[in-house]
């Protein structure tokens, strides 16, 4: 497939949407612990209501940029718009994962000055959140590569759908950003995915932060497991 920048960006946004939707679902059910949108946002601004929006915008911008890289690689390897392109895209997703995961540690360091008491530094490859974190991130990046290849191939076969695809991608991205922001503000990703009621929301912010700090200290001293640490920390929610 010859390189097509416009189609590449559209496909990259669509692929990022699919990957992000998978991550939000995994956060919701408690399979993932690292809030990637907040992690990226905290790296460039002080933590606040707009942090996750900035983080998601950065996430989608990088997804569109990676779409250009994928399209260039498709052109280099002489890939044609056939079902095999999906396997190649998934394979590229593995290399994408290997490139992106070390950035979690970098983003964690950049956001350290904004980290709330009780928050865990994700560490190398997010290992401080458990091995499932890296495994699900791998699945997400392979999903990105597969969707990227599928959408890009379709647009190369019939460019007439490019405008409709771009409009759909933009609307989907905006909708997901709004949904994620609402979930974050309401504390849903912090509470409901753990099946807990927000019993501690009557506490003041200072009391919540102090309680989180005590839980973190117990975890660092080995008194509680990581899962128990996460459960207790999320029982102390901060009102937006």
Please check whether residues 211 and 134 belong to one and the same domain: no
Please check whether residues 96 and 204 belong to one and the same domain: no
- Helices marked H in the chain: 5-29, 36-42, 51-76, 84-100, 102-110, 131-157, 162-186, 188-191, 205-220, 226-234
Please check whether residues 181 and 134 belong to one and the same domain: yes
Please check whether residues 161 and 201 belong to one and the same domain: no
Global pTM exceeds 0.85: no
Please check whether residues 44 and 156 belong to one and the same domain: yes
What number of other Cβ atoms are within 10 A of residue 178's Cβ?
12
Split into its structural domains, the chain has a count of 2
Residues in the chain: 240
Please check whether residues 133 and 231 belong to one and the same domain: no
The range of the structural domain enclosing residue 49 comes to 5-194
Please check whether residues 181 and 239 belong to one and the same domain: no
Going residue by residue through the chain, which has 240 residues, state the pLDDT in tens, using 9 for 90 and above: 788 898 999 999 999 999 999 988 888 887 887 777 777 777 676 766 677 788 888 889 999 999 999 999 998 988 887 788 899 999 999 988 888 777 766 655 555 444 554 555 666 666 667 778 888 889 999 999 999 999 998 888 877 777 888 888 888 888 888 777 776 655 545 544 444 333 334 556 677 777 778 888 887 777 777 777 777 776 665 444
Please check whether residues 178 and 221 belong to one and the same domain: no
Please check whether residues 97 and 18 belong to one and the same domain: yes
Please check whether residues 207 and 95 belong to one and the same domain: no
Closest Cα partner for 126 from 140, 143, 145, 146?
140
Please check whether residues 131 and 30 belong to one and the same domain: yes
Using alpha carbons, list the distances in angstroms from residue 32 to 3, 19, 209: 35, 13, 22
d(CA 66, CA 53): 20
Please check whether residues 230 and 151 belong to one and the same domain: no
């Amino acid at each position: 497939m010859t390189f097509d920048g416009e189609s590449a960006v559209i496909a990259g946004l669509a692929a990022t949407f699919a990957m992000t939707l998978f991550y939000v679902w995994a956060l919701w059910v408690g399979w993932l612990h690292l809030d990637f949108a907040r992690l990226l946002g905290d790296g460039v601004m002080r933590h606040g209501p707009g942090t996750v929006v900035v983080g998601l915008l950065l996430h989608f911008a990088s997804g569109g940029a990676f779409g250009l890289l994928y399209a260039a690689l498709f052109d280099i390897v002489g890939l044609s718009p056939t079902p095999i392109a999906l396997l190649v895209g998934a394979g590229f997703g593995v290399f994408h994962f290997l490139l992106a995961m070390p950035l979690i540690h970098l983003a964690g360091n950049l956001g350290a000055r904004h980290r709330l008491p009780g928050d865990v530094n994700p560490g190398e490859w997010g290992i401080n959140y458990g091995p499932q974190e890296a495994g699900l991130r791998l699945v997400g990046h392979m999903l990105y590569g597969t969707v990227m290849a599928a959408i890009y191939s379709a647009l190369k076969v019939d460019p007439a759908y490019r405008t409709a695809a771009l409009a759909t991608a933009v609307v989907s991205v905006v909708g997901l950003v709004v949904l994620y922001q609402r979930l974050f503000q309401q504390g849903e990703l912090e509470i409901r995915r753990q099946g807990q009621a927000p019993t501690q929301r009557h506490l003041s912010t200072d009391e919540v932060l102090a309680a989180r700090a005590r839980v973190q200290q117990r975890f660092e001293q080995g008194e509680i497991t990581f899962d128990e640490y996460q459960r207790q920390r999320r029982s102390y929610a901060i009102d937006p």
